Structures are given as C-alpha cells and as structure tokens.
Amino acid sequence: MTADKNDTATPPSQTDDELSPKEIEAGRILFAQDCQFVFGATTADVLPPPDYPEIAFAGRSNVGKSSLINALTSRNTLARTSNTPGRTRQLNFFVLGERLMLVDMPGHGYAKVSKSEIASWGELIDSYLRGRVNLRRLCLLVDSRHGLKPPDLELMDRLDEAAVSYQIVLTKADKVKQGELKRILSTLKSQLKVRPAAHPEIAVTSALDGGGIAQLRAALTAYADPAQADPD
C-alpha cells in the first residue's frame, strides 16, 4: 500500500500472508450475515447458554472497540459508540449468522468509574474468562498511538493465568505514521514473546479507512461453526 503524504495509510494486517482469497471471502460472507443483540449480562449467573463459539473484544475505554465491531459487521449502530469513556458496563452478546457469538466487554482503565464498579466488572470478567468453555479467542484492542498501558498488561496477566487465547488488535492505525507503527509493532512482538496465552500475530486495523478489517474477519471466521449446506 502506498502511504499518503502524511505517511499514515494503514498497512496490511500482520496475518495477510497466511490468508487466502477463499478465507477472505468466507469472512466477508459470514460478517455480512444477520447480527443481532442477544443479551447484556451484568453478573456471571445470567450469562446466556454457550450455544455458539465466542469471540470477545476487550480494550481500554475509548480504544475504538465499538467502532471496530461496527466496522467488522458493516453496521453503524450495532455496538454503541460514545464520547463518554466507560459507557459499556456489561457483557453484550451478539449472535452472527447463527454461527458465531461476538462479545463486547466493558472498557477498562477509565479513572472516573467508581472503585465499586471496577471491582464488580473485575469479578464479572474473571468469572467469564475462567468459566466460558466456548470462548475461542479474546481480541485485546490497543490504540496504535499509545501501545500497551498498565490496564492492558493487567488484563493480559489475567488471560495468561486463565489460559485464554488472546490476540492484540491495533486500532486507529490511520492516525499513526508508518514508521512509528513499525516501532510499536516491534515493541509489541517482543512483549508478546513472554506471554503464554498470546497469539504471536498482531492485527493492524482502522475502522475509519477499513484497513485490516477484511483480514480480521477472515481470521475470526475460522472459529465459527461450519456453514450449513443449502438444501437440495
């Protein structure tokens, strides 16, 4: 991809080389299917039944989590976007094409949330991570401009301890010059080498210009239930 004059064009996802056109198309087809909100859980005892493989999305408040989910599903309002950090205060479940469940987790690391709320969310998240047998992967969203912050590292510690597979997904890559982005990627790769549950590949995305979205769709589609064959 040729950078623009500001050298901020989103580079290809780090998974490009491993994804075939067939896989990209399978991702497009799945994420074009009907996607419906199922349930919002505020406590672990009311989680919906584990009927589908699940992909969870987590990240610091204002990292662009809702925007990424909306971009993946080509919808503007599936996941709420807000200028108020910390708006997502529950686990929101969305079923995609009757094959995959997307889970929007509360944003972490926002100081204006009360300590009691933080403790409550922590209990909910820990219970979800440790007890969700159908959780296939967690996408940990990280702002490309900032890299990993202490709240991200704390969540990564939890994920490593719970042996939950997770992948770093850089967001807002359109806002970073490619030279700086390469530096951040190099640093992240070094940090991930000592993380037992971390996926080694890093997805680079931009909800604004669509960079990396098709590749991430394809990668996540690999965890979905098989598509049903059309009846004869």
The count of structural domains within the chain is 1
The CA–CA distances, whole Å, from 70 to 27, 73, 102, 210, 228 equal 15, 5, 11, 11, 25
Q: What is the mean pLDDT of residues 93-99?
A: 97
Q: What is the mean pLDDT of residues 47-69?
A: 94
Q: Looking at the domain assignment, is residue 51 inside a domain?
A: yes
Residue 161 and residue 155: Cα distance in Å, rounded? Answer: 10
The pLDDT-based confidence of 115 (bands split at 50, 70, 90) is confident
Q: What is the mean pLDDT of residues 217-223?
A: 98
Q: Looking at the domain assignment, is residue 123 inside a domain?
A: yes
**What is the three-class DSSP state of 134?**
coil
> Which of the residue ranges 3-12, 72-81, 101-110 has the most confident prediction, judged by mean pLDDT?
101-110
Q: What is the mean pLDDT of residues 87-105?
A: 90
Q: Looking at the domain assignment, is residue 73 inside a domain?
A: yes
Phi, psi of 2 (to 5 degrees): -90, 125
pLDDT: which is higher, 32 or 114: 32
Q: Looking at the domain assignment, is residue 119 inside a domain?
A: yes
Range of the domain at 27: 16-221
Q: What is the mean pLDDT of residues 31-57?
A: 95
Q: Which burial class, exposed, middle or buried, applies to 228 when counting CB atoms under 10 A from its CB (0-12, 13-18, 19+)? A: exposed
Residue 74 and residue 189: Cα distance in Å, rounded? Answer: 29
Residue 25's CB: how many other CB atoms inside 10 A? 14
180-211 pLDDT, tens digit each? 999 999 999 999 999 999 999 999 999 999 99
DSSP-derived secondary structure for 65-119: HHHHHHHHTT-SSSS---SSTT---SEEEEEETTTEEEEEPPPB--TTS-HHHHH
Q: Looking at the domain assignment, is residue 186 inside a domain?
A: yes
Q: What is the mean pLDDT of residues 94-104?
A: 97
pLDDT in the model for residue 80: 60
Q: For the domain that residue 162 is a member of, what is the CATH number?
A: 3.40.50.300
Q: Looking at the domain assignment, is residue 128 inside a domain?
A: yes
Q: Looking at the domain assignment, is residue 8 inside a domain?
A: no
Q: Looking at the domain assignment, is residue 131 inside a domain?
A: yes
